[in-house]
Amino acid sequence: MAIKIPKDTLDLIRRRVYEELDQANYLSSSRTDNATLLENLCANPDIGGIVGQYYPKERIRTYIKDAVIKRYAKEHKRIQRPALEDQMEFCSRKYQVGNFAQVKSGDKDIVLLKSAQTPIYVVIIEGTMIKWESALRKGLLYVAARPFGNNPLVSVHIVLSLYLGGVSMTPSDKKLLERALSRAGADAYLWGR
């Protein structure tokens, strides 16, 4: 049975995990590298060992991933998040529309824009470069579930606002991503290099 981790102990665990994540450049590492890092954190007596005093062994990995690493990722992405105005300007240039108005999307990771002049919607989904496929899936499902997504008189565009994790992208990788996204009718707004 799990016992709530005391705040001072939780702060210590967070500090140690954050140090390890910073050292490993977690936000810009591959999924394979991050999975290995997570296993090492679980095996570390100063991290997984302490969590194991409060949680059963089979829940240590889940706790570290969900309670500590996800928080780290959100905190570090928030630091460099681009202004909505910059993303709206990108969309105006990309789709040759004068002005967009923001419409309530119902999801904190999705920004919905509607053209003031023409029947055009743009759905901006936040994600990371490492998991761009998840952001694309989320965008496609969001559009499919909305009335404007099934209206043949409305043009809908998906823009993935992808956090690069402080690492610049090679021109060939960028071109490959853009080509893959264009197949799905989506575009990329890259930030955080």
Please report, for the chain, the start and end positions of each structural domain, with discontinuous segments joined by +: 7-80, 84-191
More confident residue, 76 or 40: 40
| Average confidence score pLDDT of the chain | 89
The one-letter amino acid at 63: Y
Exposure string of 42-70, with b = 16+ CB inside 10 Å and e = fewer, is bebeebbebbeebbeeeebbebbeebbbe
84-191 has which fold?
Trna Endonuclease; Chain: A, domain 1 (3.40.1350)
With cut-offs at 50, 70 and 90, classify the pLDDT of residue 78: low
The fraction of the chain above a pLDDT of 70, given in percent, is 95
Question: Any idea what DSSP says for residue 3?
Answer: -
Q: Is the pLDDT of residue 67 over 60?
A: yes
pLDDT value for 160: 96
The model's pTM is 0.64
Note whether 65 and 53 are within 8 A (CB).
no
Dump pLDDT digits (tens) for 82-100: 888 899 999 999 998 888 8
Question: Which pair of tokens denotes residue 161?
Answer: 């606002």
Please give the average per-residue pLDDT across 128-157, as a whole number. 92
Please give the average per-residue pLDDT across 140-154, as a whole number. 92
Please give the average per-residue pLDDT across 33-51, as a whole number. 93
**How far is 27 from 131, CA to CA, in rounded Å?**
11
Checking DSSP bridges between strand 155-163 and strand 110-115, what pairing results, if any?
unpaired
Number of H helices, E strands in the chain: 8, 5
Question: Which pair of tokens denotes residue 16?
Answer: 């140690």
Note whether 100 and 115 are within 8 A (CB).
yes
**Cβ contacts of residue 13 below 8 Å, gap of 6+?**
5, 47, 50, 51, 68
